């Protein structure tokens, strides 16, 4: 009989002499790489899809900002005895009245001051022309006229492009009007049936995940409301400071300038730079370079007070975001979606930060508002008695045999058949 040939033994993976084909560090890096790459690809696809339906997404986000701002007013009106419908109607009427009143005051001052500003602008242009001819450049009137003629010829040659841009502005205005109506419609239902809408969205998640999603969403909503209210306070301080300074040094259109600063302050970093430059330029055109330098000092003083006092002590505590995170969020948002991206970057980051912190800390396990909503028994208080067994805190179940897989406190039980 032929003896059976024995196969050579393969080295065991745990054998020190065995060298794997792919090092362990490379395996870990590869596992991380494809997962992170998949997340980036899915995120890019989501952003692209949201960009295709911007006419829906932008009004929804604006309505969410106004809803977080106005919901406390609706709740206060409910507490004093008004029905839900009347509370929402009164809140919206008050908001519309404030907006229309502000526009009326700004419009009146602009109409009364635009004529004098035009005359001052003409004088400023004459001064600039005199500086070009008698200054270090030494340009003659014929040269200035030729440069102006070249500019007019360039405008005429690009008239088709200008017309196309003008038509695009008209189309954009139509989209703005449609988005405004949609925003008002969504805001009304956010204030009327916000709880029912959120409950409907939470119902799409598995039963065990609903307490966590519900609690995290509510915490994110509170952060959004805190951000809007604090941002309004910061914007009001900027507007009052710069507007009052402009009025004191007799810069025309001080009230419209204050309104512009108020609106621009909702875009962190970028809005302050743009509105400050407009204020200085307005002072330069109207009153000369000395007045412009004074206006520049006022703008810098107000913005430094905002960045060193208001932002760290008020905004930082309200949304728990580091200034570096705010700057990076604004830069990323403006890169992805322009001005709208810069406007919504910080509130989105604030909501995401609160959401992730709540999930990471397992906040639903000791959230007193969730047991009544989801029917989960509240977690008992931590037993601080000496000698208490570990695991008695936070409602941990006693160790022992169970009928099924272990679940965390606050998880919804599976429905019975």
Rounded distance, CA 183 to CA 62, Å?
7
Inter-residue contact 306 to 298 (CB < 8 Å): no
Inter-residue contact 188 to 388 (CB < 8 Å): no
Rounded distance, CA 98 to CA 259, Å?
13
Rounded distance, CA 382 to CA 409, Å?
14
H helix runs in 320-381, sequence order: 323-360, 370-374
Place of tokens 């966590």: 212
Is 170 part of any domain?
no
Cα-Cα-Cα-Cα dihedral sign, residues 277, 280, 285, 286: positive
Q: CA dist 218 to 59, 160, 187, 202, Å? A: 21, 51, 18, 11
Q: CA dist 410 to 317, 381, 397, 406, Å? A: 28, 14, 12, 12
Is 389 part of any domain?
no
Is 2 part of any domain?
no
Is 65 part of any domain?
yes
Is 90 part of any domain?
yes
Number of domains comprising the chain: 1
Domain holding 184, by residue range, is 53-139+177-365
For residue 38, the model assigns a pLDDT of 94
Rounded distance, CA 280 to CA 73, Å?
38
For residue 122, the model assigns a pLDDT of 63
Rounded to two decimals, what is the model's pTM? 0.65
Give the three-class secondary structure for 398.
Answer: coil
**pLDDT of the chain along its 417 residues, tens only?**
555 555 555 555 555 555 567 788 888 898 999 999 999 999 889 888 887 887 888 889 889 989 988 999 999 999 998 898 899 999 999 988 888 887 787 777 666 666 666 666 666 666 666 666 666 666 666 666 676 767 766 666 665 565 555 444 445 667 778 888 888 899 999 998 888 898 899 989 998 888 899 889 988 998 888 888 888 888 888 888 888 888 888 887 788 888 888 888 777 666 777 888 888 888 877 777 788 888 888 888 887 777 667 666 676 666 677 777 777 887 888 787 777 787 888 888 889 888 998 898 888 888 777 756 665 554 555 444 444 444 444 444 444 444 433 333 333 344 333
Inter-residue contact 328 to 346 (CB < 8 Å): no
* 149 contacts: CB under 8 Å, gap ≥ 6: none
For residue 47, the model assigns a pLDDT of 81
For residue 42, the model assigns a pLDDT of 93
Distance from CA of residue 72 to its chain's centroid? Answer: 20
Determine how many CB atoms are found less than 10 A away from the CB of residue 265: 22
Is 73 part of any domain?
yes
For residue 128, the model assigns a pLDDT of 65
């Amino acid at each position: 009989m032929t003896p059976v040939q024995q196969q050579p033994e393969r080295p065991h993976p745990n054998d020190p002499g065995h060298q794997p084909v792919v090092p362990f560090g490379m395996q870990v890096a590869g596992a991380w790489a494809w997962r992170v790459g998949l997340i980036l690809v899915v995120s890019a696809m989501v952003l692209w899809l949201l960009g295709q339906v911007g006419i829906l997404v932008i009004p929804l986000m604006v309505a969410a900002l106004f809803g977080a701002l106005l919901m406390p007013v609706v709740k206060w009106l409910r507490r004093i005895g008004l029905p839900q419908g009347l509370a929402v109607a009164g809140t919206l009427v008050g908001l519309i009245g404030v907006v229309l009143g502000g526009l009326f005051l700004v419009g009146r001052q602009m109409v009364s001051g635009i004529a004098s500003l035009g005359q001052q602008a003409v004088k400023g242009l004459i001064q600039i022309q005199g500086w070009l001819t008698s200054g270090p450049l030494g340009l003659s009137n014929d040269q200035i006229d030729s440069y102006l003629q070249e500019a007019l010829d360039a405008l005429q040659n690009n008239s088709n492009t200008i017309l196309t841009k003008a038509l695009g502005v008209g189309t954009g205005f139509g989209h703005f009007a449609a988005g405004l109506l949609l925003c008002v419609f969504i805001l009304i239902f956010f204030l009327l049936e916000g709880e029912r809408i959120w409950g409907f969205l939470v119902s799409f998640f598995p039963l065990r995940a609903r307490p966590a999603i519900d609690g995290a969403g509510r915490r994110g909503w509170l952060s959004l409301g805190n951000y809007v209210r604090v941002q309004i306070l910061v914007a009001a301080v900027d507007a009052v400071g710069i507007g009052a300074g402009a009025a004191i040094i007799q810069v025309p259109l001080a009230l419209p300038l204050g309104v512009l600063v108020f609106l621009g302050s909702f875009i962190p970093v970028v809005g302050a730079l743009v509105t400050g430059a407009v204020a200085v330029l307005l002072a330069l055109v109207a009153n000369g370079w000395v007045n412009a330098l004074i206006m520049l000092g006022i703008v810098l003083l107000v913005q430094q007070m905002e960045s060193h006092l208001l932002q760290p002590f008020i905004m930082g505590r309200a949304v728990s975001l580091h200034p570096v995170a705010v700057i990076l969020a604004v830069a990323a948002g403006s890169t992805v979606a322009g001005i709208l991206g810069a406007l919504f970057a910080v509130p989105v980051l604030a909501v995401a930060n609160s959401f992730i912190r709540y999930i990471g800390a397992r906040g639903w396990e000791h959230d007193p508002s969730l047991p009544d909503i989801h029917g989960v028994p509240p977690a008992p208080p931590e037993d601080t008695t000496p000698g208490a067994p570990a695991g008695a805190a936070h409602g941990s179940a006693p160790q022992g045999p169970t009928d099924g897989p272990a679940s965390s406190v606050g998880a919804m039980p599976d429905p019975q058949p």
